[in-house]
Structure 1
Amino acid sequence: MQGFQLSFFTEQSRKHHGLPLGEWLLQEARALGLGGATLMAASEGFGHHGTLHSAHFFELADQPVEVTLAVSAADAERFFARLADEKLQIFYVKTPIEFGMTGS
């Protein structure tokens, strides 16, 4: 199947409707019936402002997180429409891909 890999990047401390934004993105993908999403925590990263974000032993709030989805073009449009409805500003990467399952 042809579609897109959507990758969203944020920090653990960023909230939306009382939830960490990464978790909110997972819940919205599920609510829209998308095929799956993965939340990954990183140890360090920096954003467009050049600010270093990292996970420290005592403070995980600044920890970078990434949410990745493999979706059809139609599902990508629905997901971005949902983000627009919420007026969310979040950095993303949208890459054309082929995806599917191996085996029978």
Structure 2
Amino acid sequence: MNQETVQQGVHLTFYCHLRAKHDGMLLSEWLLEKAKEHGLGGGSVFRAIAGFGRHGVLHEEQFFELSDDLPVKIEFLLREDQADLLLQLVRVADVDATYARWPASFAVLSKH
């Protein structure tokens, strides 16, 4: 029988547009790279098919023409201290993005 170790932490999600850049990189890639450089938990990027943000502009995928400025979210499951570190890196770098943070319980399921 496998033993799971459930951790308490943070679900940290950043929201931006697909083409958003920071330091010459796509913002989604920049966030993933910063997390990886600092040994933080894994992250994932998800692209929306439609959405609007704080400026009220609707972006959506069209049948014949795919929008290149669709909303994306970049998610991380982190310990509290890791989330604090990543947010501090983002603040110091003066990144323009919206984020949400809420408590999370997580574990790794494995056959080993």
Pick the aligned partner of 2:55 from 49, 71, 75. Answer: 49
Q: TM-score, normalised by structure 2?
A: 0.84
Residue matched to 2:15: 9
2:46 partner SS: strand
Query: Which consecutive unaligned segments of at least 5 residues does structure 1 have?
Result: none
Query: Which consecutive unaligned segments of at least 5 residues does structure 2 have?
Result: 1-6
Pick the aligned partner of 1:61 from 34, 59, 68. Answer: 68
Counterpart Cα distance in 1 of 2:30 and 2:60: 21
Residue matched to 1:21: 27
Instruction: Give matches, 1:87-98, under 5 Å.
Output: 87-98=94-105
Q: TM-score, normalised by structure 1?
A: 0.90
Identity of aligned residues (%): 32
State the 1:95 CA deviation. Answer: 0.9
Residue matched to 2:84: 77
State the 1:59 CA deviation. Answer: 4.8
Pick the aligned partner of 2:36 from 30, 34, 37. Answer: 30
Contact 1:55 1:64 in 2 (8 A): no
Q: How many equivalent pairs are there?
A: 104
Moved over 4 A (4+): none
Q: Supply the RMSD in Å over aligned alpha carbons.
A: 1.5
1:30 partner SS: helix
* Bigger Cα Rg: 2
